[in-house]
Structures are given as C-alpha cells and as structure tokens.
Chain A
Amino acid sequence: MNNILIKAEKISKTYILFAEEVNAVKDLDLEIRQGEFVAIMGPSGSGKTTLLDILGCLDRVSTGKLKVLGQDVSLLKESALVKIRRVNMGFVFQEFLLIPTLTALENVELPLLFAGLPQNRQQAVNLLEKVGLGKRVNHLPKELSGGERQRVAIARALVTSPKILFADEPTGNLDTKSGQQIFDIFKELNQKDNLTIVLTTHNNKLGLQAKRIIYLKDGNIVSRQESSLFV
C-alpha cells in the first residue's frame, strides 16, 4: 500500500469564466496509492470534477507539481498526456458517453484501437460478461438501459488494463438501484483486482462506501477520512 501512483503538490487550476478568474483548485496536496478507493465529495462547484480531470491527465495544472506514476506531468502537452492516459487510465463519465454508432463490444474495443494494442475480441467479451452484459455484446447503446450503458463504459475503461480508474459522478444519471449496482462493481474491482479507483460523487450514501473520502470546498480539501462503512 506504499506504492504512490499520483502525487500532487500545491496544485492549482485557474480558468476564466465570463471574464472572471475562477480558482477551481487551490494549493491542493494529495497522494493516491496503489489499491486505494477514493471518493471525492463536496458541493457543486467545489472543484471535484476539475480535480479529477487533473489527476486523470485530461487537464493540466496552472501551478504546482503533479507526478503520475513517477513522471512529472505538470508541463506535458496534450499529445504526451494522451499517451499516459491510454495505457494507464480508464475513464467513466456521468453521461456514459458511449459512441452511439458502435455496438457495446465495439465501444469496449475502441481504446485498444487508439492505443494500438492487439484487439482481442474475447478479452472484450470477457469484460462485458464481468460487468453482467454477456448477452448484450452486439447491442447499440440506444438499446441499453442507463445502468447497462454505464457497465459498457466501465468495461471500456478496463479494456486496456489500466492502473487507475477515474469515474466522474458515475451514478449521477442512474436511479438508486442501478447506482448501487454500478458502485458494487467498483467495489469488487477494487477488492478482487486491487484496481485503484478515484471517483467523484455527491451521493453521500454511495460515497461513504469508498475506502477513503476527501471533502472538497472551494477548491481545497477540508476533510479526509477513512471510511468505516467499507465492506
């Protein structure tokens, strides 16, 4: 548990919104270790998503130092970040964001295409079976329910065998039952496969089930706690 995957030192993110400077993340320190299950929580506008984007190398810091897998990524360009992302990180989004013209299976295979990895169809099918969609592999996203779509998105995120899975409000568009099912998948991935998971949520009931909870307010961490509810 001492293997540090991500280390953020005094990172800040400033952007301009309607001609006003917004400090989405301010002087934030954070370490994420192998095998952790971190829930980032906090009210709307507290910087959860911005922080997740930065940790996931989707966005760059304005100031501060961010090390991912031992590499300083603070100053890297998008073309370099994409190379880090595509083999080390998986992403799940609130709106699922599947490609509507591709089947579940093709959506899962897509990251392999981009990463230039061998497209092992059986591996993609196995992942869909793992998230409970073994019988839906050839369905288009529009033929699937919200919960099912998010499962496809999870399978897609896992296909490159990433070291970290990032999920931005993964249950935000789902009903309570589907939300819990998706969360259970995350817990299982973390426990059985020792996959590091970082997610944002403003659902307390779900967030409290993570191993570690970080509360954000105005772009900084106001409280860190180890969860007792994690089972």
Chain B
Amino acid sequence: MKILTVAFKNLQRKKIRTFLTIGGVAIAVAVLVSLMGFDAGYQKSLTNDIDKMGYQVLVTAKGCPYEAATLMLKGGGGLRYMEQAVFDKIASDPRIEKISPQLAATEFDKDRQNGQGGIILYMGVDNAYLGLKPWSKFKSGKWFSSEDADEVVIGYEAAELEQRSPGDQIFIPNLNKALKVVGVFQRTGTQDDGIMFVPLKTAQRIFNLPGKLTGIGIKLKDIGNLSDFEESLYNEPGIQVISMAQVKGTIFNLVSSSKAMTNSVAIIAILIAVIGVVNTILMSVFERTKEIGVMKAIGASRLDIFQIIWLETTLICFLGGFFGDIIAILGTNLVEHIIRQALPYAPAGKLVIIAPTLLLGSFLGAVVMGLISGIYPAYRASSMRPVEAIRSGD
C-alpha cells in the first residue's frame, strides 16, 4: 500500500462531494481552455479571412458605414454605391498590381433556413476577381462563360446549403429571375464560401444598378507604397479608402475589450474553483480529526499526513483538469455558436482552436492549482497533535 492509495480511498468516502469539487475545477478549466482557444482561433481565422481577400485596400462609396468591409463580407443593408467611372480612373494607377470591381447585393429568401428566412449575398465580379484569389479552386464546373451571362458560381458552403451543383438553377424570387449554376468553389475557409458570384455586368443588370459598384479591391505591386497610395485617393470625391490592416485592427480592438471581460470571467472561475477545493479539503480534514490523530499515534509523521492531504487536493485538481479538457473539447461547437452570436464580426473559419499545447498547459495548470490549494489544508492536518486529535469530541 502507498500513501497515494490512502489519499485516493479518502476521496471515495464522500463521492458526491468529491464529484462536485472535481466538477468545479473541470468547469473552470473548460472555461479557460475555451476562452484561450477562442483567443487563438479568432485571431487566426480573422487574419486568414482578411488576408485571403487578396487585396490590401478596399475602396467604397463615401457614407458607407466604417465597417464597410464587414458589410461587404457579411451582407446586410446600408450599402452605398459609387460610379463605375471611379474604377476606370483608379485602375490606370501604375502602382496597382491587381484591381477588382465588385457589386454586392443581398436578397432575403424567406424559404432559407427551414422557413426562418435568410440573407443571400450575391457578388458581382469580373474576371480579375479570380486573379486576386489564386488559391480559389473549382470543386466542379468552371468560371462564367461570358461577362454578362445569367450564370452563377457558388461558394462551397452556399452550394451545400442550397444543394446545387453545375447545371442546376438558382431562382431569385424577389427578382423573378433564374440563374444557371456553372461552377462550385472548393472550401476556402473564408467568407467566400457563403457567397453567390455572378458576372459584374449581370449583377448590375438584374439588380437594376447600371454602372454602379459597391467596392473596389486593390492589390498593390509593393505594399510599401500603401500609405502613399491611400493618400492619393483621399482627394477623390465620393469615395473612401479602407486598408485591410486598418479593418483588422478595428475588429481586434472591438474584440479585445470583450476579451478582457471574458478573461476576467476565466480568472474568477478559477478563483472560485480554488476556494471550493480548499474549503472541501479543509472540511474533510476537520471531519477526520480523529483519524488523522490515530494515524499520527500509529506512526505517521507530519510529512506523511501532509502528503496524504496534499495528494488528495492534487488528485481532485488532476481529475478536474482532465475532465475540464474533455468538456472543452466536447463543448467547442457550443462555445463557437454562442461566441458567434455575440461577436461584431465573426470570421468564417473555426473561432475556437483548441491546440494540444493549450490542453496540456491547462491540465498542468490545474495540477499546479491543486498543489497550491493543498498547502494550507495539508499544513493544518499535519499540525494536529495526536492526543488532542484523538480525544477531540469526547
């Protein structure tokens, strides 16, 4: 028999109490893992999302809300339009490597999402769009046959949702218009997965917005010219210039304030768990005063008693850390769903990324928490004097 056996059997004495204490630690660890996983995942997928737009600068019509890029990506109202002439003027700038005019339009489809209705984002683009996104590959089908064909190329998720493949038709009820599906993209992990692409000219025609654009994506030959280039566009009337770095920064700022909140929640959860553990173990030490006394009488040293109680605490936190990791893994989707609702802008990729190092780190953190929480109760137990402990309550 080992000291560990004695400690482990002690924990089995009051199973519900032990279970609840382990549960408290597990929940604290799960909250910590989820939040840290969110920190990592959000940063990564947001960066991925914005970098994979393929352009560093977005030009929009003046008056478009500041988070224009968000709207461009997510859909929704408030879109402002600019004239195609702006595009023609900018496009000749020699500093530009690639430039892509875009016309976004949203349609509410009441049959979407099992009758709840949903917004479908149509994006009018020209052939330059593909040039900005060399990583876009067709899962099936191909690009538009002409610049004003009544055709649509669908992002991966939109195709899944609509159950469409090349040859099928997409019907836009509000316009009473049908488009032919010619291609479906492979998954990119960005917002593109949910978009219906149509030729720019077709979009201008069917949405009745002739010569209008909502945005122009621009990739420069040399990123070092970015601020110069932005400067030169400030004088253009009726437009505003948004650099993607700026958008990223804005979104990070929006999120970081809520991150501070959630991090304090995690810290509070851990503190409560520590207090719970200390309280439980102290209570069980006092309940076992006589047992501790008799163990000392029959030869247990202070160190022996300290070890038993310390091990009990550490075991609780060890198990709490283990189950906390499991809860965090199982709960990823739920957390993802909840956070997605709460965020000002949620990128398309995984929001919560739980890396093995995070799991291991949190688990070890829980064990360390156990080692620390156990010190005081173990000290109290080891300080009991045998006679007083044995005769207590007589």
Residues of chain A having any CB pair with chain B under 8 Å: 49, 53, 56, 58-59, 78-79, 82, 85-87, 90-91, 93, 95, 97, 99-102, 106, 109-111, 113-115, 119, 156-157, 160
Chain A residues, Cβ within 8 Å of B1: 102, 106, 109-110, 113, 119
Contact assessment for B9 and A115 in the assembled complex, using a CB-CB cutoff below 8 Å: no
* 6 other A-B residue contacts (CB within 8 Å) besides A58-B387, A102-B9, A109-B1: A82-B300, A91-B298, A110-B1, A114-B298, A114-B300, A114-B304
Contact assessment for B301 and A97 in the assembled complex, using a CB-CB cutoff below 8 Å: no
Any A CB within 8 A of the CB of B165: no
Any A CB within 8 A of the CB of B219: no
CA distance A106 to B298 in the complex (A): 14
Chain A residues, Cβ within 8 Å of B300: 82, 114
Chain A residues, Cβ within 8 Å of B385: 78
Of the listed residues A58, A87, A156, the one surrounded by the most CB atoms of chain B closer than 10 A to its CB is A58
Contact assessment for B386 and A58 in the assembled complex, using a CB-CB cutoff below 8 Å: yes
Contact assessment for A101 and B13 in the assembled complex, using a CB-CB cutoff below 8 Å: yes
Any A CB within 8 A of the CB of B115: no
CA distance A95 to B392 in the complex (A): 12
**Once A and B bind, how many residue pairs between them come within 8 Å at the CB atom?**
76
Number of interface residues of B (CB under 8 A): 27
Nearest residue, chain B, Cβ from A95: B290
CA distance A54 to B195 in the complex (A): 87
Chain A residues, Cβ within 8 Å of B390: 58, 93, 97
Chain A residues, Cβ within 8 Å of B12: 101
Any A CB within 8 A of the CB of B2: yes
Supposing A78-B386, A97-B290, A119-B1 touch, asked if A85 and B297 sit within 8 A by C-beta, the answer is: yes
Any A CB within 8 A of the CB of B3: yes
A interface footprint on B12-47 (CB within 8 Å = 1, 0 otherwise):
110000000000000000000000000000000000
Chain A residues, Cβ within 8 Å of B297: 56, 58, 85, 91, 93
Supposing A93-B294, A101-B13 touch, asked if A115 and B299 sit within 8 A by C-beta, the answer is: yes
Residue among B291, B298, B386 making CB contact with A157, cutoff 8 Å: B298
Chain B residues, Cβ within 8 Å of A102: 1, 6, 9
CA distance A228 to B196 in the complex (A): 109
Chain B residues, Cβ within 8 Å of A99: 6, 291, 294-295
CA distance A102 to B294 in the complex (A): 14
Contact assessment for A111 and B298 in the assembled complex, using a CB-CB cutoff below 8 Å: yes
Chain A residues, Cβ within 8 Å of B10: 101
Chain B residues, Cβ within 8 Å of A79: 301-302
Min CB gap B273→A, angstroms: 25
CA distance A160 to B298 in the complex (A): 10
Nearest residue, chain A, Cβ from B304: A114
CA distance A106 to B304 in the complex (A): 16
Please list 8 pairs of residues, one from A and one from B, whose beta carbons are closer than 8 Å in the complex, sorted by A's number.
A79-B302, A82-B296, A93-B390, A99-B295, A102-B9, A113-B1, A113-B2, A115-B299
CA distance A79 to B302 in the complex (A): 7
Of the listed residues B2, B5, B390, the one surrounded by the most CB atoms of chain A closer than 10 A to its CB is B390
Supposing A78-B386, A102-B6, A109-B1 touch, asked if A114 and B299 sit within 8 A by C-beta, the answer is: yes
CA distance A132 to B95 in the complex (A): 99
CA distance A111 to B295 in the complex (A): 8
Min CB gap B390→A, angstroms: 7
CA distance A56 to B293 in the complex (A): 14
CA distance A93 to B387 in the complex (A): 12
CA distance A99 to B385 in the complex (A): 18
A-facing residues in B220-271 (Cβ within 8 Å): none
CA distance A85 to B300 in the complex (A): 10
Of the listed residues A85, A93, A114, the one surrounded by the most CB atoms of chain B closer than 10 A to its CB is A114
Min CB gap A113→B, angstroms: 6
Contact assessment for A53 and B387 in the assembled complex, using a CB-CB cutoff below 8 Å: yes
Chain B residues, Cβ within 8 Å of A87: 299
Nearest residue, chain B, Cβ from A98: B294
Supposing A78-B385, A110-B1 touch, asked if A100 and B13 sit within 8 A by C-beta, the answer is: yes
A-facing residues in B275-323 (Cβ within 8 Å): 290-291, 293-302, 304
Contact assessment for B387 and A111 in the assembled complex, using a CB-CB cutoff below 8 Å: no
Contact assessment for A85 and B299 in the assembled complex, using a CB-CB cutoff below 8 Å: yes
Min CB gap A102→B, angstroms: 6
Nearest residue, chain B, Cβ from A115: B299
Chain A residues, Cβ within 8 Å of B296: 82
Contact assessment for A113 and B3 in the assembled complex, using a CB-CB cutoff below 8 Å: yes
Min CB gap B142→A, angstroms: 72
CA distance A87 to B324 in the complex (A): 44
Chain A residues, Cβ within 8 Å of B391: 49
Contact assessment for A160 and B299 in the assembled complex, using a CB-CB cutoff below 8 Å: yes
Contact assessment for B298 and A86 in the assembled complex, using a CB-CB cutoff below 8 Å: yes
Contact assessment for B302 and A110 in the assembled complex, using a CB-CB cutoff below 8 Å: no
Chain A residues, Cβ within 8 Å of B294: 91, 93, 97, 99
CA distance A111 to B385 in the complex (A): 18
CA distance A93 to B293 in the complex (A): 11
Supposing A101-B12, A114-B295 touch, asked if A82 and B290 sit within 8 A by C-beta, the answer is: no
